[in-house]
Structure formats: structure tokens, C-alpha cells
């Protein structure tokens, strides 16, 4: 019985470790993707239109 509980705890520990590692890799990949997108956007000029607001003469 002790061996079964030990194996169950061992498998649960490995499963938790695997899940944490997978989550960490997902977070790292997302950050890397965002950094690559920011680097690409730095090469583009500012494409926002310039708006000039002028008040009418009263």
C-alpha cells in the first residue's frame, strides 16, 4: 500500500512539474513574440494623422 501511495505522489509531482514548465515556456514565448513585434514596429514611421483643432473667431 505504501508503494502505491509513493508512486501516486511521484506521478502527481512529475505532473505538476511538467505543467509548471509548460506554463513557463508559454509565458516566455508570449513575451518573446511581443518583443519581436515591438522591434518590427520601431522601423515604421508614425502613421497617425495629425489633427489641428482651431477655434472659430467669435
Rounded Cα distance, 46 and 42, in Å: 9
- Give me the pLDDT at residue 12, please: 97
- Per-residue 3-state assignment (H helix, E strand, C coil) for 16-40: HHHHHHHHHHHHHHHHHHHHHHHHH
Q: What is the pLDDT of residues 3-57, one digit of tens each?
A: 999 999 999 999 999 999 999 999 999 999 999 999 988 888 877 888 888 888 8
* pTM for this entry: 0.58
Domain ranges of the chain: 1-42
- Give me the pLDDT at residue 8, please: 96
CA distances in angstroms from 6 to 16, 18, 27, 33, 56, listed in the order given: 15, 18, 32, 41, 82
Amino acid at each position: 500500500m505504501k508503494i502505491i501511495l509513493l508512486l501516486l505522489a511521484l506521478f502527481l509531482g512529475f505532473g505538476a512539474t511538467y505543467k509548471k514548465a509548460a506554463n513557463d515556456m508559454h509565458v516566455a514565448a508570449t513575451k518573446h513574440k511581443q518583443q519581436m513585434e515591438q522591434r518590427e514596429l520601431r522601423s515604421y514611421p508614425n502613421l497617425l494623422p495629425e489633427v489641428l483643432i482651431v477655434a472659430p473667431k467669435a
